[in-house]
Structure formats: C-alpha cells, structure tokens
C-alpha cells in the first residue's frame, strides 16, 4: 500500500525553534522510491548552539508532572498518525508501531507521576539535635543518543526521566528515523515544555554524536546502540569523567527443555525471533533445545514462520512482518545466512523475499558454539538452533557469548526455571515468555558487553542515572 503523504522536513530543535534545512533523505523501506523525510545535517557548531541550561530544574515536581502528563495526552490523541510516520520511516507493522507510540505515551505518563513523589530520604544523625536528609539533584545538561529500531519509545524512556529529574536534554536520534523523534518533541513543546529544555540535533554519529559526548558542559550521556559505537562513546565520556550509560547488543538465548509443549515453545520463539522483523536488542537469536523435543520444535517453528510472519509493507493489513530497515542491513542478514551454510549450518527457511527489502524469517539448524551465527548479533529475523543434552549444558552454551541482555526458558519444571534464572548471565530473564517485550516500570539493562551495567533504564531506577545525591545536615538546637 503506497500513501500520498508529502515528505516531512525535520530540522534541529534548538532553543524552541526548528532550524536548519534538510539534506538527508529517508525513503520508506517498504517502497524505496517513496521519500518520507528530509532532515537537517548538523556538525559540532549545532551541538554548541543546543547545549544551554534554561530554567527548568527549579520548577516544582508537580509543574514538571503537568508538562509530561499533557505531552502523554497529546501523543495518545495523535497515536494513529504518529504510528503511520513510524511505519513509513522504520518499517515495522502498524500494529507494532501503534504499540510503540502508546508505550512512549505511557512512559511520559509514568515519569510525570514520578515527579510527584518525594525524591530523597531522611536519616538519623549521630550528632544530637541534627536532622539529616538527602536531595536528588539534576545533573544539568544531559546528552541522549538513540538507535533507529524503536525511534519513539527509546527516546521517550531516556528523555522523560531526564526531564522529570529537572535536567535539560540534547538528543541525537539515529539518522534513519528522525521523524518519529520529532513527533515526541512536538508533543512536549505543545504541552508547555519551556524553549531550550529539550533540543534535537541531527547528523552523523562521528560529527554530531561525538561533539555531544565530548562537550564539556554535558554532564552525562545515555546511549543505546551498537557495541563498537558504545565503546567509543565510553572512552570519550570517561576521559572527561562524565557519567555514561550504555545499552548495546545482545545474542539472546531461548532454552527449550524436553518437558515443554513444542507448539507453545515455537510460538514463544517465533514472537521473540521474528516479531519486529527481529530488529530488537532483546530478540531471540539462539534457540537452545534438549534432544527429545528438538525436531518437533523446529518443525513447528518453520510452520509458524511461513503461516504467521509473511513479510510485507507494514501499512498493509495483510503484512505480518515489516521490511528490513535498510539495504545495508538486508545485505548483512543474508551474508550471515551464507556464512552459516559455509560453517556447516543448515538453513531450513529464510531468504531474500522476491523484491525490495523483504526477507522471510530464517531458521538455521546445526549451529554450534564456535559458529559465527552463535556469537555475533545479526539484528534481523534469524534464529540459530543449537542442540544440547540437558539444562546444565543449555545454561553453559547460553552463557558462552560476550553478551548478556535477555534470556528465556520454556519449561513446566519449576526447579529448572529457578535454576535457569539463578545461573543465566543476563539482565532480563523470561520464563515461558518471549525474550523480547518489557514492562516500562521494571529495571532494564544487560551485563557483559550488552551494557555498562552501572545504572538501569526504565522504572524508578532510571531517575538514578539522571540525578546525584546531596546530603544535608541541619542543626536544630
Ligand atoms: P548505532 O550504534 O549504529 O547508532 C546508534 C546511535 O549512535 C545513532 O544515533 C548514531 O548516529 C550514533 N552514533 C554513531 N556513531 C557515533 C559516535 N562515534 N559517537 C556518538 N554517536 C554515534 O546503532 P543502530 O544501528 O542505530 O542500532 C542498532 C543497535 O542498537 C544494535 O546493536 C542493537 O542491539 C542496539 N540496541 C540496543 C538496545 C538496548 O537497550 N540494549 C535497544 C535497541 C537497540
């Protein structure tokens, strides 16, 4: 289904004004000839203009809450339109995009409510007649750098807690998906966020992203994206002792034990592996299965892949899985399948589908720990199936990667489920649920190369990253 929507201009948002004319063109991944947006391209001077600290931190909590809550209402009212923008620039299905926009609105609402709560504690003092309390202070100007795969949800779960805590934000969205982030900024501006409290800067990571990370007045940087970029950002931020939070890739395992129902297990695997076109950091990319159930799970997963994950334009109601985000990503996905074959894997299903950026869901059996497909993040609808003998071996294989983001187990054995939760090296553990999909009020993050593992995102814990603790002693005699 093609639409007749005109291409949208996306400028930088600096000091409350949309500035800069666009040169970076983004085409619809479902229709490569359809121009979706034209975005301004900045450099270090753009970042310099955006880093400022207008009055916001001294607004009361309830005043900040009013802005975030109103923005949530505006985004809810506009959800259908914003979801169409999101589908056209990123590619996911309309159902997935609508869910993402609603999630962004809920995140605004959640952190709006958080503004109302007390933000410190009172403590007993060793000195008589002395009251002691703590205050959570905002950091100042914070930088937010986000990827393309959740172009409105991830910016919202970084920007909302930063604003709730009283910070000013300079955000740099991924170049492929600037329009969805603009829609979020529009809601906040119309909800009464003062000019300059949220700024958006666009351009390359090397120029604009690094200028933001290196800026001496940016107190902290929260980044979600790939490992190599995260490592670079960590180096730049740490050099000047700025606070930094990184959430990066995954190689998320789903373990299926012999006692499981194969249909249920395959349904959970498919949702985690093929939902969102596999383009989620928490996507299932390794299916680790014990012997008696192995063939039945693979057969069922192959059936589900064909029946329930038909690729197509996300705006087409028939489409069950959107296109891959870009030509480069599709080439990379298909290259991983070729490599898997060369290394001895068997590609049961999965190929470039006919035309455009469409790929059918891929299942590769016969993968072992030494294979590239068992170790590297693909970031597409590709599930590597690995055979193991028992739970102990499954956990050992699952942990034998440099990542530790999300992990799941499918079993009815309570003891096995608890052993898995205790011994798996991952920040998120799911029992009888897909590895992807998170609640917004629950801490989220990984370990090993998936995360800096210092501060968690989402939930109340997100506010810790954006604040520092001041201890106050008051003599009362
Ligand atoms: P990416 O690392 O290429 O880009 C992410 C952001 O960093 C973009 O805004 C980009 O412009 C910017 N950037 C690039 N180079 C930079 C530099 N040198 N300095 C500063 N900024 C720079 O990632 P992507 O391709 O947009 O997203 C896919 C990756 O994101 C995958 O690896 C995925 O696992 C990861 N991801 C992780 C999570 C999580 O929460 N753990 C969530 C979603 C995506």
* Chain segment 402-450, per-residue pLDDT in tens: 999 999 999 999 999 999 999 999 999 999 999 999 999 999 999 999 9
pLDDT in tens, 135-173: 999 999 999 999 999 999 999 999 999 999 999 999 999
pLDDT band, very low/low/confident/very high, at 1 (cuts 50, 70, 90): low
In whole angstroms, give the CA distance from residue 124 to residue 167: 30
- Residue 387 pLDDT exceeds 80: yes
**Res 267: pLDDT:** 98
Is 170 in the same domain as 55? yes
Q: What is the CATH number of the domain that holds 273?
A: 3.40.309.10
Nearest CA to ligand 1 atom 16: 205
pLDDT at residue number 356: 82
Give yes or no: residues 82 and 14 share one domain: yes
Mean pLDDT, residues 230-254 taken together: 98
Q: Are 105 and 443 spatial neighbours (Cβ–Cβ below 8 Å)?
A: no
What confidence score (pLDDT) does residue 187 get? 98
For the residues 111-139, what does the mean pLDDT come to? 94
Pairing type for strands 130-138 and 467-475 reads antiparallel
Q: Please give the pLDDT value at position 354.
A: 72
Residues 261 and 180 in one domain: no
187 phi/psi in degrees, rounded to 5? -65, -45
Q: How confident is the model at residue 104 (pLDDT cuts 50, 70, 90)?
A: very high
Over residues 442-471, the mean pLDDT reads: 95
pLDDT for residue 4 is more than 90:
no
SS (H, E, C) the chain: CCCCCCCEEECEEECCEEECCEEEEEEECCEEEEEEEEEECCCHHHHHHHCCCCCCCCCCHHHHHHHHHHHHHHHHHCHHHHHHHHHHHHCCCHHHHHHHHHHHHHHHHHHHHHCCCCCCCEECCCCCCEEEEEEEEECCEEEEECCCCCCCHHHHHHHHHHHHCCCEEEEECCCCCHHHHHHHHHHHHHCCCCCCCEEECCCCHHHHHHHHHHCCCEEEEEEECCHHHHHHHHHHHHHCCCEEEEECCCCEEEEECCCCCHHHHHHHHHHHHHHHHHCCCCCEEEEEECHHHHHHHHHHHHHHHHHHCCECCCCCCCCCECCCCCHHHHHHHHHHHHHHHHCCCEEEECCECCCCCCECCEEEECCCCCCHHHHCCCCCCEEEEEECCCHHHHHHHHHCCCEECEEEEECCCHHHHHHHHHHCCCCEEEECCCCCCCCCCCCECCEECCECCCCCECCCCHHHHCEEEEEEEEECC
Domain span at residue 226 reads 8-248+451-473
Q: Which residues are catalytic?
A: 281
| Helices of type H across 348-467 | 372-375, 391-399, 414-423, 462-465
Question: Measured from the CA of 147, which atom of ligand 1 is nearest?
Answer: 26
Ligand 1 centroid, distance to 224 Cα (angstroms): 5
Is residue 99 in some structural domain?
yes
pLDDT of residue 375: 98
Structure tokens at 409: 């187990």
Tell me: do 174 and 321 sit in the same domain. no
Please tell me the predicted confidence (pLDDT) of residue 460: 87
pLDDT of residue 16: 97
Question: DSSP code of 424?
Answer: -
Tens digit of each residue's pLDDT (9 = 90 or more) over 311-341: 999 999 999 999 999 999 999 999 999 999 9
CA of 67 to the centre of ligand 1 (A): 29
User: Across the chain, what does the average pLDDT equal?
Assistant: 97
Residue closest by Cα to atom 22 of ligand 1: 205
Read off the CATH number of the domain in which 464 is found: 3.40.605.10
CA dihedral 51, 53, 57, 63 (to 10 degrees): -90
Average pLDDT for residues 292-318, to the nearest whole number? 97
pLDDT score for 3? 57
Question: Is 333 within the bounds of a domain?
Answer: yes
Query: What residues pair up with 448 in beta bridges, in sequence order?
Result: 403
Residues 314 and 229 reside in one and the same domain: no
Read off the pLDDT of each residue in 279-292 and give the average, rounded to a whole number. Answer: 98
Identify whether residues 36 and 126 lie together within a single domain.
yes
- Residue closest via CA to ligand 1's atom 13 equals 205
The answer to whether residue 2 scores a pLDDT higher than 70 is: no
Residue 330 lies in a domain: yes
Question: Tokens for 260?
Answer: 């499981």
State the average pLDDT over residues 260-277: 98
Q: What percent of the chain has pLDDT over 90?
A: 95
Same domain, 177 and 325: no
Lowest mean pLDDT: which of 93-107, 163-177, 229-243, 347-361? 347-361
What is the token pair recorded at 282?
Answer: 């928490």
Residues 94 and 228 occupy one common structural domain = yes
CA distance 448 to 436: 18
Which candidate, 368, 371, 383, places its Cα nearest to that of 339?
Answer: 371
Tell me whether residue 290 is in a domain.
yes
Residue 444 forms part of a structural domain: no
The total domain count for the chain is 2
Ligand 1 close to Cβ of residue 206 (< 6 A)? yes
**Pocket residue to mutate for ligand 1, from 90, 207, 221, 226, most atoms within 8 A of Cβ:** 226
Residue nearest to atom 14 of ligand 1 (CA): 205
Considering the domain boundaries, does residue 443 fall inside one?
A: no
242 and 257 in a single domain? The answer is no
Query: Does residue 257 share a domain with residue 207?
Result: no
DSSP reduced 3-state for 343: coil
Instruction: For 69-89, write each residue's pLDDT tens digit.
Output: 999 999 999 999 999 999 999
The reply to whether 279 and 180 lie within a common domain is no
Distance (angstroms) between ligand 1 centre and the Cα of 315 equals 26
Residue 442 lies in a domain: no
CA of 365 to the centre of ligand 1 (A): 29
H-type helices in 91-122, by residue range?
Answer: 94-114
Atom of ligand 1 nearest to the CA of 212: 20
Indicate whether 333 and 205 sit together in one domain.
Answer: no
């Amino acid at each position: 289904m093609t639409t007749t929507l005109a291409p949208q201009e996306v400028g930088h948002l600096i000091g409350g004004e949309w500035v800069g004319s666009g040169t970076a063109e983004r085409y619809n991944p479902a229709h490569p000839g359809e121009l979706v947006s034209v975005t301004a391209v900045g450099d270090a001077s753009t970042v310099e203009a955006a880093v400022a600290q207008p009055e916001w931190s001294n607004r009361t909590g309830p005043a900040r809450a009013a802005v975030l809550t109103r923005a949530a209402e505006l985004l809810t009212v506009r959800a259908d339109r914003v979801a169409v923008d999101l589908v056209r620039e990123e590619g996911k299905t309309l159902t997935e995009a609508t869910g993402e926009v609603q999630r962004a609105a809920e995140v605004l609402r959640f952190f709006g409510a958080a503004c109302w709560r007390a933000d410190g504690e009172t403590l007993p003092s060793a000195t008589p007649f002395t009251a002691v309390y703590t205050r959570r202070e905002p950091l100042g100007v914070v930088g937010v750098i986000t990827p393309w795969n959740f172009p409105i949800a991830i910016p919202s779960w970084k920007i909302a807690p930063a604003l709730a805590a009283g910070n000013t934000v300079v955000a740099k969205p991924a170049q492929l998906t600037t329009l969805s982030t603009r829609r979020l900024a529009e809601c906040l501006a119309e909800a009464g966020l003062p000019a300059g409290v949220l700024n958006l800067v666009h351009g390359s990571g090397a120029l604009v992203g690094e200028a933001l990370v290196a800026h001496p007045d940016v107190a902290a940087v929260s980044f979600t994206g790939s490992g190599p970029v995260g490592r670079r950002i960590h180096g730049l931020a740490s050099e000047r002792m700025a606070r930094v939070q990184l959430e990066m890739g995954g190689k998320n395992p789903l373990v299926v034990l012999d006692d499981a129902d194969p249909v249920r297990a395959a349904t959970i695997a498919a949702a985690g592996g093929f939902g969102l076109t596999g383009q989620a950091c928490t996507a299932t990319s390794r299916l680790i299965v014990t012997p008696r159930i192995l063939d039945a799970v693979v057969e069922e997963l192959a059936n589900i892949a064909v029946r329930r994950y038909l690729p197509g334009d996300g705006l087409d109601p028939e489409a069950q899985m959107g296109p891959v985000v870009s030509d480069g990503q599709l080439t990379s996905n298909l290259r991983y399948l070729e490599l898997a074959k060369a290394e001895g894997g068997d590609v049961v299903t999965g190929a470039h589908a006919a035309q455009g950026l469409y790929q059918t869901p891929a299942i590769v059996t016969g993968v072992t720990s030494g294979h590239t497909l068992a170790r590297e993040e693909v970031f597409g609808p590709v599930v590597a199936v690995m055979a193991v003998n028992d739970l102990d071996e499954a956990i050992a294989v699952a942990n034998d990667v440099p990542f530790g983001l999300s992990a799941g187990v499918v079993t009815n054995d309570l003891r096995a489920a608890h052993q898995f939760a205790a011994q798996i090296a991952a920040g998120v553990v799911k029992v009888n649920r897909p590895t992807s999909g998170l609640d917004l009020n629950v801490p989220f993050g990984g370990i090993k190369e998936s995360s800096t593992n210092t501060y968690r995102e989402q939930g109340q814990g997100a506010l810790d990253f954006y604040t520092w603790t001041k201890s106050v002693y008051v003599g009362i005699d």
